[in-house]
C-alpha cells in the first residue's frame, strides 16, 4: 500500500508557523522548517502580562505570539530572551507605579494587583497597535522624512478613521488642469529668462539658494513644473519635493490630543509640510462643517486665495499636517503655492518655519490665520483677524476654546 502512495502528494493545511510550533512542541529539530537545536525552544513572545517574585526568582506571564490568552504561561526570567520587551514592561510598570503614588523607586512589588497587570496588558497592546500604524504610515508616505508615533500619555491607539495621502485627493466634479508651459532658463535662480515661472504670472521668485522662502506671507509661490527645462535640482523646486524632516506624531499631555514635533532642527523660512486632504466644493464643506462643528473638530481649510470656491478637508484623507495643533503664537506660516496647476482657485497650501525650530519642538500653525493675498499692500495677518481664516472654515458656528497656552492666546479659535 505505502508503495503505491510514494508519488502522491497533498497540500498542507497548516501554516509555516504552525508547523514550526508543532516541531517545538514535539521537540523535533527540522532544518527545512528552520528549527534547529539552538532555537528549538524559542517561541515568540507577543507581550508580557504580569509579574511576580517568588523568593529570589522573577516570573513573567507570557502572551505567546499566535496563541490565545488561555495558553499564556508563567516563565522564569532566565527563559526570556526578549530584552526589549522586558525593558519596556519594567519602564511601563515603573511609570504607572509612580503615577499611582505607590512607590517612587525602581524596585517592583512582589506581586502586581490585577488592575495594574491589566493596565500593562493594555499598554503593551497599544504599543503594538501604534507600531503597526507607524509602519503603515511609512509605507504610504512618498516623502523623505520618516514618521514616528508615540503615546506616553494615555491608552489611546491609532485614530480609527484616517487614511494617509501625499497629495490632494480631488473630489467629484473637480479637475486639476495640467500646466501647459514651463520656463526656458539657463539657471532659474541666477540667470532666469523672463523671471522664470513666477515671472510668467508677474510674481517674484520665492526662494534663496538654500531653498528658504524670502517672500512675505500672503504672496504666492510659483515653482518650476514638469514642462520646465530645468531639472530636479532647480532651486525653484521645494514644496514639490515633499517633507524632508523626520517628524513624530505624539500624544500631548495637556488635553490637545495628538500633536506633531520635529526630530530635527528646522531653519527659519524652510519648507516643512503641505496641508493635503480631499478637495471639495465650498457647498460640500458647508455641509460637512456642520457635522464637524458638532464633533468639535476642525480639518476644513478654505482655499480662498482669490475666491472661496474650494475647501480642503483633511478629516479622513490627509498627511501628517492632520495632526498639527493650533497655536496663537505658531512656528509655521501658510503660503499658497502653484506648481503643475495654475488655477488660482486651487492653490497648494504649504507651511514654512517662521523661526528656527529646534529638534523636539512641537509644530503649530494658526488655524485662524488671516492673510489677504489679493491686497498686496496689507501688512501681515493681524489686521484681518476674525474674518474668514485661511485654515479653518469661516462658516464655523461654534466657538472652540483654545488650549495653546501661549502668552498671546486669543482664548477662542473661532
User: Residues interacting with Zn ion, by CB under 5 A?
Assistant: 183, 185, 188, 196-197, 224, 228, 230, 234, 236
Q: Between helices 114-140 and 83-99, what is the axis angle to 10°?
A: 120
Output 75-80 pairs: Cβ under 8 A, ≥24 positions apart: 80/45
With beta carbons less than 8 A apart as the criterion, state whether 328 and 408 touch.
Answer: yes
Pick the closer one to Zn ion by CB: 338 or 352.
338
β-strand 300-303 against 310-313: which pairing, if any?
Answer: antiparallel
With beta carbons less than 8 A apart as the criterion, state whether 376 and 363 touch.
Answer: no
At its nearest, how many Å lie between Zn ion and the CB of residue 413? 38
Pick the closer one to Zn ion by CB: 109 or 199.
199
At its nearest, how many Å lie between Zn ion and the CB of residue 267? 22
CA gap 134, 126 in Å, rounded: 12
Task: Report residue 115: phi and psi, to 5°.
Answer: -70, -35
At its nearest, how many Å lie between Zn ion and the CB of residue 223? 7
- List residues bridging with 73 in a β-sheet: 62
The alpha helices in 141-219, defined as continuous H runs, are 196-200
Cell numbers of 406, please?
Answer: 501661549
Q: Is 139 helix (H, G, I), strand (E, B) or coil?
A: helix
Cell numbers of 290, please?
Answer: 456642520
Pick the closer one to Zn ion by CB: 8 or 190.
190
At its nearest, how many Å lie between Zn ion and the CB of residue 244? 19
Pick the closer one to Zn ion by CB: 236 or 298.
236
DSSP class of residue 270 equals -
Pick the closer one to Zn ion by CB: 234 or 320.
234
Pick the closer one to Zn ion by CB: 183 or 320.
183
Pick the closer one to Zn ion by CB: 224 or 247.
224
CA gap 125, 58 in Å, rounded: 22
- List residues bridging with 201 in a β-sheet: none
At its nearest, how many Å lie between Zn ion and the CB of residue 177? 17
| Residues 6+ away with beta carbon under 8 Å from 16 | 33
Cell numbers of 33, please?
Answer: 522548517
At its nearest, how many Å lie between Zn ion and the CB of residue 241? 13
CA gap 311, 297 in Å, rounded: 15
Q: Assign residue 105 a region (left: φ > 0; alpha: ψ between -120 and 50; beta: otherwise).
A: beta
DSSP class of residue 177 equals P
Pick the closer one to Zn ion by CB: 225 or 325.
225
Q: Is 119 helix (H, G, I), strand (E, B) or coil?
A: helix
Q: Is 191 helix (H, G, I), strand (E, B) or coil?
A: strand
Pick the closer one to Zn ion by CB: 198 or 389.
198
CA gap 248, 237 in Å, rounded: 25
With beta carbons less than 8 A apart as the criterion, state whether 81 and 59 touch.
Answer: no
Pick the closer one to Zn ion by CB: 228 or 334.
228
Amino acid at each position: 500500500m505505502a508503495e503505491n502512495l510514494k508519488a502522491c502528494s497533498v497540500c498542507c493545511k497548516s501554516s509555516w508557523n504552525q508547523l514550526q510550533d508543532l516541531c517545538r512542541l514535539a521537540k523535533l529539530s527540522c532544518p527545512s522548517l528552520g528549527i534547529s537545536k539552538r532555537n528549538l525552544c524559542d517561541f515568540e513572545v507577543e507581550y508580557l502580562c504580569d509579574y511576580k517574585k517568588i523568593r529570589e526568582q522573577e516570573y513573567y506571564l507570557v502572551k505567546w505570539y499566535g496563541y490565545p490568552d488561555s495558553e499564556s504561561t508563567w516563565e522564569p526570567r532566565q527563559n526570556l530572551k526578549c530584552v526589549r520587551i522586558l525593558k519596556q514592561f519594567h519602564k511601563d510598570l515603573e511609570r504607572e507605579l509612580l503615577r499611582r503614588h505607590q512607590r517612587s523607586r525602581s524596585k517592583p512589588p512582589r506581586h502586581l494587583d490585577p488592575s495594574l497587570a491589566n493596565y500593562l496588558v493594555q499598554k503593551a497592546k497599544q504599543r503594538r497597535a501604534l507600531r503597526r500604524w507607524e509602519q503603515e504610515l511609512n509605507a504610504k508616505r512618498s516623502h523623505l522624512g520618516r514618521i514616528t508615533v508615540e503615546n506616553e500619555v494615555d491608552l489611546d491607539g491609532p485614530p480609527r478613521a484616517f487614511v494617509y495621502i501625499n497629495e490632494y485627493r480631488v473630489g467629484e466634479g473637480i479637475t486639476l488642469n495640467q500646466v501647459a508651459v514651463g520656463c526656458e532658463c539657463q539657471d532659474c535662480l541666477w540667470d532666469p529668462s523672463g523671471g522664470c515661472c513666477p515671472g510668467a504670472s508677474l510674481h517674484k521668485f520665492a526662494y534663496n539658494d538654500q531653498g528658504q522662502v524670502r517672500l512675505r506671507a500672503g504672496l504666492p509661490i510659483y515653482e518650476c513644473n514638469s514642462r520646465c527645462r530645468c531639472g530636479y535640482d532647480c532651486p525653484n523646486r521645494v514644496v514639490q519635493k515633499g517633507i524632508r524632516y523626520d517628524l513624530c506624531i505624539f500624544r500631548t499631555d495637556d488635553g490637545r490630543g495628538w500633536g506633531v514635533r520635529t526630530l530635527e532642527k528646522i531653519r527659519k523660512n524652510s519648507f516643512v509640510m503641505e496641508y493635503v486632504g480631499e478637495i471639495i466644493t465650498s457647498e460640500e464643506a458647508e455641509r460637512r462643517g456642520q457635522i464637524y462643528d458638532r464633533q468639535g473638530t476642525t480639518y476644513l481649510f478654505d482655499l480662498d486665495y482669490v475666491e472661496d470656491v474650494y475647501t480642503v478637508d483633511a478629516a479622513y484623507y490627509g498627511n501628517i499636517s492632520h495632526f498639527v495643533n493650533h497655536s496663537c503664537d505658531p512656528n509655521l506660516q501658510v503660503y499658497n503655492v502653484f506648481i503643475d496647476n495654475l488655477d488660482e482657485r486651487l492653490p497648494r497650501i504649504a507651511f514654512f518655519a517662521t523661526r528656527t525650530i529646534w529638534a523636539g519642538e512641537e509644530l503649530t500653525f494658526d488655524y485662524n490665520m488671516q492673510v489677504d493675498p489679493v491686497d498686496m499692500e496689507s501688512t501681515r495677518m493681524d489686521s484681518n483677524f476674525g474674518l474668514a481664516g485661511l485654515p479653518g472654515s469661516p462658516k464655523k458656528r461654534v466657538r472652540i476654546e483654545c488650549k495653546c497656552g501661549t502668552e498671546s492666546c486669543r482664548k477662542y479659535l473661532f
